[in-house]
């Protein structure tokens, strides 16, 4: 593993990022000030998943190795995994993909886990499984399995199509008698609250949440007792509000009694750390915020959501999105598509904030910093050791 970790570090580390971080997260180069969030990029769970994927290639050099979906939600990292000869399957493999597997093959389960039925099918084939599921995700599974044993329906705050939420939902079924309902946001949570208070019918609720609840789910029966869980990368403040609104609705329905409501704090610690670091960064006077990461990364999307409320924010995949000084390709989290914005980069003295999701490696942050400096016409130092740094954070009192 030491050799594997050295190889991973060689692919993804950045001396520029390390240097700036050591000196307080701020670098002034010409008229450009770069501010890095105190916490961003790879978390422990992501590093572990990547390490295990690299290790699998070394431990099984002659075997075919497959990966369920993506190891993490970052296209550059997934491209590197594929370049190592690890073959991606669908997160929910097709019948053709299942039939092509043999007992001599290795299958990697990604960091956000996989559905119970998928893993069971692979075990039946006899494949060697390398499970990289994050410990924080497995903690949520433990909670929803407990709910199923105690006839408590899991209300999962998350994205119903996300691999992690699908995996969590499969565990919420327990031995087959458990149930779940997925709510995406406060609007959907309020709709459930309206049913609990008797102002929305069962038929309407089932129609509006089609595809986001378990087979056989009957709101009249299965919302009698509820427990709130979540996709670990959601926005903490929103999850807490979902919990509070559902608790209040249960209390109203049950005459002030909340015995039929439970919740657990299952937001990933790294996700929260990165959100807190961004809130802290936004206390600094910034002209632009760049959020770097995969467009399908939930935790990165929430960073962009936080940023856009305070400053001009651009969610980019990598430095290639910074094509020219007056054009940036970035992901619009509302329209769910990549768009181009003109005249995005300030002229004259400017403060540029940068953060990244838990699935973004430091080398992509370095490339982003260097590209910004080039577009700004700055004299880029040949080595990070030559960066004129300031140890002050630039935060307002």
Q: What's the pLDDT score for residue 396?
A: 36
Give the active site residue among 47, 163, 164, 367.
Answer: 164
Q: Are 321 and 291 in contact (CB under 8 A)?
A: no
Give the three-class secondary structure for 126.
coil
The residue count of the chain comes to: 397
Q: Which DSSP letter does residue 291 get?
A: E
Q: What percent of the chain has pLDDT over 90?
A: 82
CA distance 256 to 247: 10
Q: Which DSSP letter does residue 305 get?
A: H
- Whether 208 shows a pLDDT value over 80: the answer reads yes
Per-residue pLDDT tens digits for 326-385: 899 999 999 999 999 999 999 999 999 999 998 999 999 999 999 999 999 999 988 888
Q: What's the pLDDT score for residue 12?
A: 86
pLDDT band at 246 (very low <50, low <70, confident <90, very high): very high
CA distance 250 to 155: 13
Q: What's the pLDDT score for residue 287?
A: 97
Q: Which DSSP letter does residue 319 get?
A: G
Q: Which domains does the chain have, with CATH numbers?
A: 2-43+270-386 (3.40.1010.20), 44-133 (3.40.50.11270), 136-263 (3.40.1010.20)
Largest CA distance in the chain: 69
Enumerate residues 6+ apart whose C-beta is below 8 A from 157.
182, 183, 184, 189, 228, 229, 230, 231, 234, 238, 239, 242
CA distance 49 to 248: 39
Average pLDDT over residues 46-75: 94
Per-residue pLDDT tens digits for 278-326: 999 999 999 999 999 999 998 999 999 999 999 999 999 999 999 888 8
More confident residue, 41 or 242: 242
CA distance 216 to 194: 21
Average pLDDT over residues 127-139: 95
CA terminus-to-terminus distance, the chain: 44
- Whether 99 shows a pLDDT value over 70: the answer reads yes
CA angle at residue 135 from 129 to 139, to 5 degrees?
Answer: 115
- Residue 320: active-site member: no
Q: What's the pLDDT score for residue 332?
A: 97
pLDDT band at 389 (very low <50, low <70, confident <90, very high): low
Q: What's the pLDDT score for residue 61?
A: 93
């Amino acid at each position: 593993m030491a050799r594997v970790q050295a190889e991973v570090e060689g692919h993804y580390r950045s001396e520029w990022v390390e240097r700036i971080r050591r000196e307080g997260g701020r670098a002034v180069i010409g008229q450009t000030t770069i501010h890095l969030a105190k916490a961003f990029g790879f978390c422990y769970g992501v590093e572990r998943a990547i390490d295990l994927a690299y290790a699998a290639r070394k431990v099984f050099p002659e075997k075919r190795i497959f990966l369920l979906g993506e190891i993490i939600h970052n296209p550059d990292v997934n491209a590197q995994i594929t370049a190592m000869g690890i073959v991606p399957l669908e997160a929910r493999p097709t019948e053709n993909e299942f039939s092509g597997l043999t007992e001599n093959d290795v299958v990697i389960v990604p960091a956000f886990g996989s559905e119970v039925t998928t893993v069971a099918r692979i075990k039946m084939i006899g494949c060697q499984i390398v499970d990289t599921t994050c410990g924080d995700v497995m903690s949520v599974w433990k909670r929803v399995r407990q709910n199923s044993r105690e006839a408590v329906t899991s209300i999962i705050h998350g994205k119903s199509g996300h691999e992690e939420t699908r995996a969590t939902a499969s565990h919420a079924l327990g031995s087959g008698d458990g149930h779940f309902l997925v709510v995406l946001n406060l609007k959907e949570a309020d709709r459930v609250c309206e049913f609990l208070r008797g102002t929305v019918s069962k038929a309407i609720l089932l129609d509006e949440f089609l595809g986001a609840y378990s087979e056989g789910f009957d709101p009249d029966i299965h919302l009698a007792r509820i427990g709130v869980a979540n996709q670990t990368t959601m926005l903490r403040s929103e999850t807490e509000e979902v919990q509070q609104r559902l608790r209040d609705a249960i209390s109203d329905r049950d005459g002030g009694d909340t015995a039929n409501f439970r919740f657990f704090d299952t937001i990933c610690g790294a996700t929260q750390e990165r959100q807190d670091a961004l809130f802290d960064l936004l206390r600094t006077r910034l002209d632009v915020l760049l959020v770097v990461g995969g467009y399908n990364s939930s935790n990165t999307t929430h960073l962009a959501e936080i940023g856009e409320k305070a400053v001009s924010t651009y969610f980019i995949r990598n430095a290639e999105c910074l094509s020219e000084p007056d054009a940036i390709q970035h992901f619009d989290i509302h329209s769910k598509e990549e768009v181009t914005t003109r005249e995005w980069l300030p002229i004259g003295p400017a403060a540029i904030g940068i953060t990244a999701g838990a699935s973004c490696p430091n080398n992509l942050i370095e490339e982003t910093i260097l590209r910004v400096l080039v577009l700004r016409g700055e004299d880029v130092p040949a080595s990070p050791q030559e960066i004129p740094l300031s140890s002050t954070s630039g935060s307002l009192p």
